[in-house]
């Protein structure tokens, strides 16, 4: 409808990440303590990461060191297209 505002639903993700910290290899470190409660990630697990501003991104856990988890992000297919 024209002129109607709709509310956005909260987007759920497992871990919070800082997009500014993503390296050129699409790897980023995340803190488990800033993620979904009760999350027990291990290397090889699939995970969804988000930052409350952009749509969530899927990735795979590469490494876990205590409260820190290293995740390699998977870019959406459309992001791989070259103009």
Q: Give the CA distances from residue 56 to residues 15, 16, 51, 60, 74, in Å, rounded to whole numbers and listed in that order.
A: 10, 9, 7, 13, 11
CA–CA gap between residue 33 and residue 54 (Å, rounded): 21
CA–CA gap between residue 10 and residue 16 (Å, rounded): 14
**Fold assignment, 15-75:** Chitinase A; domain 3 (3.10.50)
% of the chain beyond a pLDDT of 90: 63
Find the mean pLDDT for residues 44-66. 94
Report field, pTM of the whole predicted structure over 0.85: no
User: pLDDT tens digits, residue range 29-44?
Assistant: 999 999 989 899 999 9
pLDDT reading at 11 higher than 60: no
User: pLDDT tens digits, residue range 59-77?
Assistant: 999 999 999 999 999 987 6
CA–CA gap between residue 44 and residue 16 (Å, rounded): 18
């Amino acid at each position: 409808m024209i002129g109607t505002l709709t509310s956005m639903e909260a987007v759920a993700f497992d871990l919070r990440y800082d997009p500014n910290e993503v390296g050129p290899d699409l790897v980023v470190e995340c803190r488990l303590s800033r993620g979904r409660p009760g999350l027990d990630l291990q290397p090889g697990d699939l995970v969804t990461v988000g930052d409350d501003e952009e749509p969530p991104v899927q990735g795979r856990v590469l490494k876990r060191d205590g409260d820190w988890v290293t995740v390699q992000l998977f870019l959406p297919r459309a992001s791989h297209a070259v103009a």
